[in-house]
Amino acid sequence: MDTEHRRKRKRILLALGGALTVATLAGGVVSLAVFTSTANVPANTFTTGSVIISTNPTTALVTFAAMAPGDQVTAPITVSNDGTLALRYAVSSVATNADTKGLKDQLVLTIKSGVTTCDNANYAATGVQLYSGDLDSSAGKLIGDAATGADPGDRTLASLANEVLCFNVSLPSLTGDAFQAATTTATFTFAAEQTKNN
């Protein structure tokens, strides 16, 4: 084999070796040492708030036996927000007659806020009237609306706050004989929801 041929062969082998070295480096065979560090952030705690409405008294707010035309009964009720979130509330009623005489539609219910003295003689003198009408109102709504979101007439209470409402129920003096010995029973419902993000 002549010298020129050997030189060519040596150049080809060197070129192939160089290409193989470049391919090996590009393929990531070479590894490097890297310093690393991590940091943890623990104790990320989430607690939901609460909406808790209560009333005092809880039953028999306005009750009257042997009512005569012209009689009335007046009593205060304290509405409290016992939860951690501000709330809005609405009041509704459902009244049922124990007979066919329809007393629930004859009685007149008045609800006021800010009354100084909530009794028969003084409830009319102060405060703001929130409702006046049938004991069993249209669609049961007395104050505001229990539908989600802010509605006209809804009442608001901050967390741990309360307010006093004054309820008065009267039997009009012109009530006729058809209502003698009649009975009706009403249930008042206080429905609350959060005000934040709502």
Cβ 79 vs Cβ 163: under 8 Å: yes
For residue 127, being part of any structural domain is answered with yes
Angstrom distances, CA of residue 119 to CA of 75, 109, 129, 152: 6, 14, 15, 28
Shared domain for 6 and 77, answered yes or no, is no
Q: For residue 23, is pLDDT > 50?
A: no
Q: For residue 164, is pLDDT > 70?
A: yes
Shared domain for 84 and 143, answered yes or no, is yes
Q: What is the pLDDT of residue 27?
A: 52
| Residue 138 structural domain | 54-194
- Return d(Cα 126, Cα 76) in angstroms, integer: 13
pLDDT in tens, 96-143: 999 999 899 999 999 999 999 999 999 999 999 999 999 887 677 999
Shared domain for 86 and 131, answered yes or no, is yes
Shared domain for 106 and 183, answered yes or no, is yes
Shared domain for 25 and 60, answered yes or no, is no
For residue 49, being part of any structural domain is answered with no
| 180: DSSP letter | T
For residue 116, being part of any structural domain is answered with yes
- C-beta neighbour count of 49 within 10 angstroms: 12
Domain count, the chain: 2
pLDDT in tens, 147-158: 999 999 999 999
Q: What is the pLDDT of residue 137?
A: 72
Shared domain for 61 and 1, answered yes or no, is no
For residue 43, being part of any structural domain is answered with no
Shared domain for 9 and 79, answered yes or no, is no
For residue 4, being part of any structural domain is answered with yes
Q: What is the pLDDT of residue 77?
A: 97
Q: What is the pLDDT of residue 11?
A: 59
Shared domain for 95 and 7, answered yes or no, is no
Angstrom distances, CA of residue 5 to CA of 8, 9, 14, 170: 5, 6, 14, 126
Shared domain for 163 and 105, answered yes or no, is yes
pTM exceeds 0.85, yes or no: no
pLDDT in tens, 47-82: 899 999 999 999 999 999 999 999 999 999 999 999
Shared domain for 182 and 97, answered yes or no, is yes
Q: What is the pLDDT of residue 13?
A: 53
| 121: DSSP letter | T
Q: What is the pLDDT of residue 91?
A: 95
For residue 106, being part of any structural domain is answered with yes
